Structure 1
Amino acid sequence: MTTEPAATAPLVQFETRHIMPIPEDERNGSVRSLFSIWVGINMLPLTVVTGAIATGSFGLSIWWSIVAILTGNVIGAFGSALHASQGPQLGVPQMLQARAQFGFYGGSLLAFIALLMFLGFFASILVVAKDSLLAVFPELNPRVVIIVFAVVGIAIAAYGYDLVRKAMAVLSVIIAVVVIIAMVMLWFEPSVTGANPDAGFTVAGFFGMLAIGVVWQLAYAPYVSDYSRYLPKDTGVRPAFWATYLGLVLSSVFVMILGVLLGSVDPSNPLGAMASVLGPIGTVGLLIFALSAAMINAAELYSGVMCALTGINSTFSRVVVTSRTRVLTTLVCGAIATAAALAGESDFVTMFQNFVTILLYVLIPWSAINLMDYFVIRKGHYAIEELFQRDGGRYGRWNVIGLSTYAIGLVVQIPFMVTPMYTGPLAEPLGFIDVAWIVGFVVSGAVYLVLTRTLGTRGSVDHGETAVVGDR
């Protein structure tokens, strides 16, 4: 008597669920893998360049730069980790869940804003990865390098979640070793620690870098649940929160400090300083940074595609979102972001600083509304199946309270804004310290709470009714 050999599961699984809820029997994520994802996602040359802004653009000393970076990241990651804790309970992508606060069609507006953010980061990472490689091989064609790196990221994102998480788990370890070696060597290099003796402390510089740390972390909020949704539902809130929080803070602060040290040597080209100061070790580090960035960048595109599919699902009633739809959307979004990278590579630093500043203002109201709705008003109880109904189900097509609150959250920030393009009338009396994001967060959360308590919550779910995760 012979028996058929058991089928062997593929080493990497092609994704078939896209924006649909992840059934319990397909949730193959773990707290450890979630931690690896958020450690790996910050092991990028873009993180180095961001850290260099402290000693370069803001003129802070090394120690004040570290304090500002640490404070900003610790604050910002708290919000993102709270969003991540929603994933195991709901099982859907982060921005699709916005339909519960903004309505079936209103949620697509927020998903579109998040899509622009993801494509912007994908393009930014391509540019900085290109700079890393060209610091080692200056004879290469920069446009060709961007295109090749884009193809790598697009291919990984098209395959889906499982390949993204496994690639980042391996890469995070390799890059962490490189960063540790580089930082130890730089700390004992007099040309680094004594490069800018006039640097010190400025209030505007300190809070400016603190705000960048906050927005760096909050930029992850629109897609943290894209990955935590693969955790089993009984994982609970705390493990998902801490895996995300610690992964984000440890890696971001770690790599940004490397940027601080390099920025003190050459503010205009911190990646070039890595090669000139560290010699062969720096050269190897740049090469690893460049190649790994091309792969890690897939996470930005993957979550951007989740947002795009949310919009497609809302806008085109006849389009059925399938794996083919996801792959085609990945190709289109990847091509758009690559074109943006090719168009903006020459003036990257200025464009990137403007990008992250505006990003903070538009993300803050959404984050406050989402957290208030999830943790205070509905206490994690949602009817997931009704998020996919074209009439919005109990959540409606347009949620006036959510959309109005979001608009108010944007408007109240305007007087306090500090950007190269516009400075609010209340910025100067405050010493040009950017507190707009604080005002926006507090006002958005408070207004949403008051309006829902006064006018009633659309689509409230009884606490006895748990979130529905179906196999659609």
Structure 2
Amino acid sequence: MAAGGGQWEKRSIEVVPANERHGSPINQFTLWFGANMQITAVVDGALAVVFGADAMWAIIGLLIGNLLGGAVMALHSAQGPHLGLPQMISSRAQFGVLGAALPLVLVVIMYLGFAATGTVLSGQAINKILHVDAKPVGIIIFGVLTFIVAAFGYRWIHKLGRLATVLGFFGFAYLTFRVFHENSAHTLFGSPHFDGAPFLLAIALGAGWQLTFGPYVADYSRYLPRNTTISSTFWATLGGSVIGSMWSMTLGALIASIPKSTFLDNQVGFVGDLAGGGAIAFVIYIVIVVGKLTVNTLNAYGGSMTLLTTTTAFTRRATVRPVVRIAFVFGFLACSIVVALAGSANFLDNFKNFVLLLLTVFIPWSAINLVDYYLVSKERVDVPALYDETGRYGRYNVCGLATYVIGVVVQIPFLSQSLYTGPIAKSLDGADVSWIVGLVVTSVVYYPWARATSRPPERTILPDDLEELEEELV
């Protein structure tokens, strides 16, 4: 089995064989619901209000963004049962076996950024639980907990997701009650007024949150039986992710709307005080840690898979031993802890810019991957060729790489960030619509070019023997 009981997960970047497939789409719902019932999503929702929107329009914008981004993310998830592969291995079909390293490097940076920023908040919660003031204590403990779950792998990650779902549901239900118990609806919503720029920012924050799951979402659906339907995986993933994130982000928008809110100064401490302090605050801190542990484990596991995908492209390996995968998990988490210890200043503003920057580089990747898989290749993939640089997909795919660069560059005039605001964004009063431009332009450029140049197989080709495939490549 892949990882049962106390066993380490055996599989990594290779195809999951039929006799090791297990689970049902409901596991996708609990994983993604639990992963989104967490403090960083609360911060993301608060940002929509902090940067100009009132609570009502912020929530509407966040919902639109989460639905749009969540649909794209769930389409990636639906690839998992069919191929039985980690998400980024399949990118070799669009970018080439070696060419896929370009988006892969950016994916690793994304995972590292989210792991570090999440570790900062989780470390605060652990310090509250232990009643210690030294910042490194909570951060290091959280890193160790993340390593344990990510090292054991797939089954442990899904078990943690189920635990986070239960704790998150009751914990966030109580916090939601407390918000309305302590503040009237009129206080929280006031007299809503529409402002285009912050409304579009709220949409971008919601969409960016969901889209950044795209490069690893299939990592957690790849063990499902191959006959699992696309629709069942899609809706289970979409439902869990959007419901969980919207609950968290709505709570964040409401908290940020409380008059004289100190949430910006101390996010974790404010939530503990909102809970009422004492024993109930202790319980809420545990809810925060478990929720963040779930998503941070996804970052560490996905980050290690991405690093393995990158390195094995150049070493020509189709499988890696469990000890190697675990070593990559450890190295990734060590780096994230170093970043967390050094980079907690100006957390909110940096996080906002980080999410929007990720939209710039991942929208083109998502567009290329989905257009190719569903419209060009029509779900037909030559899996052995994904590990062979002399095979169907070659070392570098000019079409995929050139379109990716175009998709990034075309967004620059539409960017609206503290480091850079493009001329078109300025004319739109600072509204950031770069992600929409990137999605449309990338799809329009890639589809006809790929149709004219790609050679998809007549059917999906899977290796009959994984060890035989490995021997052929060495």
Q: TM-score, length-normalised on structure 2?
A: 0.92
Selected match of 2:112 from 107, 111, 119:
119
Q: Output the amino acid matched with 2:449.
A: L
> How many pairs align?
459
Cα 1:422–1:98 shift into 2, 3 Å: same
Any idea what the Cα deviations from partners look like across 1:194-230, whole Å, max 9, x if unmatched? 2685874321111101100001000111011101111
Assess if the C-alpha contact under 8 Å between 2:318 and 2:387 holds in 1. no
Give the 3-state SS of the residue equivalent to 1:468 in structure 2. Answer: coil
Selected match of 2:69 from 65, 69, 76:
76
Deviation at 1:118, TM superposition (A): 0.9
Identity %: 37
> Using the alignment, how far apart are the partners of 1:55 and 1:466 within structure 2?
47
Matched, 1:418 2:411: no
Equivalent residue number for residue 3 of structure 1: none
Deviation at 1:140, TM superposition (A): 2.8
Selected match of 2:250 from 257, 262, 267:
257
> Using the alignment, how far apart are the partners of 2:388 and 2:175 within structure 1?
52
Equivalent residue number for residue 336 of structure 1: 335
Deviation at 1:319, TM superposition (A): 9.8
Deviation at 1:193, TM superposition (A): 5.5
Equivalent residue number for residue 37 of structure 2: 43
Give the 3-state SS of the residue equivalent to 2:66 in structure 1. Answer: helix
Q: Output the amino acid matched with 1:365.
A: P
> Using the alignment, how far apart are the partners of 1:238 and 1:97 within structure 2?
20
Assess if the C-alpha contact under 8 Å between 1:193 and 1:261 holds in 2. no
> Using the alignment, how far apart are the partners of 1:100 and 1:467 within structure 2?
13
Q: Output the amino acid matched with 2:34.
A: G
> Using the alignment, how far apart are the partners of 1:449 and 1:67 within structure 2?
32
Equivalent residue number for residue 471 of structure 2: none
Deviation at 1:242, TM superposition (A): 0.6
Deviation at 1:356, TM superposition (A): 0.7
Matched, 1:245 2:238: yes
> Using the alignment, how far apart are the partners of 1:321 and 1:139 within structure 2?
40
Equivalent residue number for residue 159 of structure 2: 166
Matched, 1:153 2:150: no
Assess if the C-alpha contact under 8 Å between 2:88 and 2:215 holds in 1. yes
Assess if the C-alpha contact under 8 Å between 2:98 and 2:396 holds in 1. yes
Selected match of 1:276 from 252, 264, 273:
273
Equivalent residue number for residue 14 of structure 1: 8
Q: Output the amino acid matched with 1:460.
A: P
Any idea what the Cα deviations from partners look like across 1:79-124, whole Å, max 9, x if unmatched? 0011111111111111110000000001122112111111111111
Equivalent residue number for residue 431 of structure 2: 433
- Root-mean-square deviation (CA, aligned residues, Å) is 2.1
> Using the alignment, how far apart are the partners of 2:105 and 2:343 within structure 1?
21
Any idea what the Cα deviations from partners look like across 1:127-158, whole Å, max 9, x if unmatched? 11123344566633111110110111012111
> Using the alignment, how far apart are the partners of 1:50 and 1:471 within structure 2?
45
Deviation at 1:346, TM superposition (A): 2.5
Q: Which runs of 4+ in 1 moved over 6 A?
A: none
Deviation at 1:262, TM superposition (A): 1.7
> Using the alignment, how far apart are the partners of 2:323 and 2:147 within structure 1?
14
Assess if the C-alpha contact under 8 Å between 1:132 and 1:287 holds in 2. yes
> Using the alignment, how far apart are the partners of 2:115 and 2:312 within structure 1?
23
Deviates more, 1:351-360 or 1:397-406: 351-360
> Using the alignment, how far apart are the partners of 1:200 and 1:284 within structure 2?
37
Cα 1:231–1:304 shift into 2, 3 Å: same
> Using the alignment, how far apart are the partners of 1:271 and 1:57 within structure 2?
20
Assess if the C-alpha contact under 8 Å between 1:124 and 1:341 holds in 2. yes
Give the 3-state SS of the residue equivalent to 1:257 in structure 2. Answer: helix
Gaps of 5+ in 2: 467-474
Cα 1:90–1:318 shift into 2, 3 Å: closer
Deviation at 1:333, TM superposition (A): 0.8
Cα 1:25–1:422 shift into 2, 3 Å: same
